[in-house]
Amino acid sequence: MGKYNFDEVIERRGTDSSKWDDFAARFPGYDTSGAIPMWVADMDFRVPNEVIEVIKKKAELGIYGYPCRKGKEFDNAVKDWLLKRHGLQIENDWVVATPGVVAAVTYAVQAFTKEGDGVLIQPPVYYPFKDRCIKYNNRVAVESPLILKDGRYEIDFEDFEEKAALETTKLFILCSPHNPVGRVWTKEELQKVVEICKKHNVFIFSDEIHSDLILEGYQHTPTALVSGDYKYLIAAYAPSKTFNLAGLKTSAIIVPDKEVRAQYIRRINQNEAVGLNLFGAAALEAAYNHGEEYLTELLDYLKGNIDYAAAFIKENLPGVSVSVTEGTYFLWVDFRGTGLSDREINKKILEEAKVAVDLGEWFGEEGKGFARFNLACPRTIVVEALNRLKKVFG
């Protein structure tokens, strides 16, 4: 028995939780009453004790005025964590704080492209990239779909280069590890991607928010370790997924090149997005400085959930299959073998099984017939959700 009890079921209803209290609005046209929420990337586990204590200490002061700008302690926590976990050596002044990674992507789209430019993505991929970061800023999504081969997704490098070579393509949003398909890109794959982007003068925004959530047998490679020329790269990290701190709105964006960093910060200032969350900065420092034991136990628990769910689906849900999860706490489930339409699949999951998941269609055309399950929850919830699915699809 470890220090942390991830089996504990914590009642989150009525706590202003988007995951538990506000999910019905995400599924217009479906009756999700009574559904188990397994959708948004939000864990149902308590954060590390050290994070709770530092937040308590700040809360007990009773004064919540403007905090200082990001300081040396913040930078050191990020720097030390990236070196320990990923072998990435950075300098303190490379760290730029933002209120989240989606916001950070948006600032990059605004700073390094202009309206009408193309932004390259690899669907099925995290849907805010296309909807919020690209379309809302009047840019054009250029899509190079991943290839599903024997239950594992691969990059179509020929198509990727063709799309990168387009005159209008100026920026590539890399999802590493990939959400939702759970791929942890190899060093060789990343080297090919970087070479293609450099060849065609395409800037890279590397979203590495799930980089701490790597399952046994796999290794995350920071894109910065293979990039060679930092003028082509920004990389995003955050404790929000690793330690369940998304509500504290604090991320660390690594911008190594001085000129690129100045241009990026200028765009942040133009958006009036400066300043840190008082509790978020302290939580980041506590999590990165003291969270390794927590993460070790968490990864072991998540692997147990993922292995259990994958085996259950294989045994009990005919026509349903899963992609191999190498990183993240998601299970990307393929329902196409059931012979049902996309709408029928969604209705069975949401309305009959009563499990609220991220619908595959949200991730692009390539996601239709799939669903993303968030397994960062107590095992009893996973078991209940799977048994509900078995009654409907078994």
Dig out the tokens for 67 from the structure.
């905090």
- Listed in sequence order, the DSSP H helices in the chain are 18-21, 49-61, 72-86, 101-112, 128, 157-164, 187-199, 223-227, 258-270, 278-290, 292-316, 342-347, 379-393
What does the pLDDT look like over 170-216, one tens digit per residue? 999 999 999 999 999 999 999 999 999 999 999 999 999 999 999 99
List, in sequence order, every residue forming a beta bridge with 374; answer none if it has no partner. Answer: 330
Closest CA to 94 of 227, 224, 245, 284: 224
Give the C-alpha separation, 143 to 72, whole Å.
39
Q: What is the pLDDT of residue 2?
A: 84
Dig out the tokens for 356 from the structure.
């609220």
* Strand 251-254 relative to strand 330-334, pairing: unpaired
Q: What is the pLDDT of residue 137?
A: 98
Q: What is the pLDDT of residue 275?
A: 83
Average pLDDT over residues 126-150: 97
Confidence class for position 1, pLDDT limits 50, 70, 90: low
Place of tokens 């990337």: 41
What does the pLDDT look like over 44-102, one tens digit per residue? 999 999 999 999 999 999 999 998 888 899 999 999 999 999 999 999 999 999 999 99
What does the pLDDT look like over 109-123, one tens digit per residue? 999 999 999 999 999
Q: Which amino acid is at 235?
A: A
Q: What is the pLDDT of residue 57?
A: 97
Confidence class for position 158, pLDDT limits 50, 70, 90: very high
What does the pLDDT look like over 240-273, one tens digit per residue? 999 999 999 999 999 999 999 999 999 999 999 8
Residue 328 and residue 213 in contact, taking contact as beta carbons nearer than 8 Å: yes
Is it the case that residue 163 has pLDDT exceeding 70? yes
Confidence class for position 274, pLDDT limits 50, 70, 90: confident
Q: What is the pLDDT of residue 114?
A: 98
Give the C-alpha separation, 355 to 33, whole Å.
10
Q: What is the pLDDT of residue 324?
A: 93
What does the pLDDT look like over 280-328, one tens digit per residue? 999 999 999 999 999 999 999 999 999 999 999 999 999 999 999 999 9
Q: Which pTM was predicted?
A: 0.97
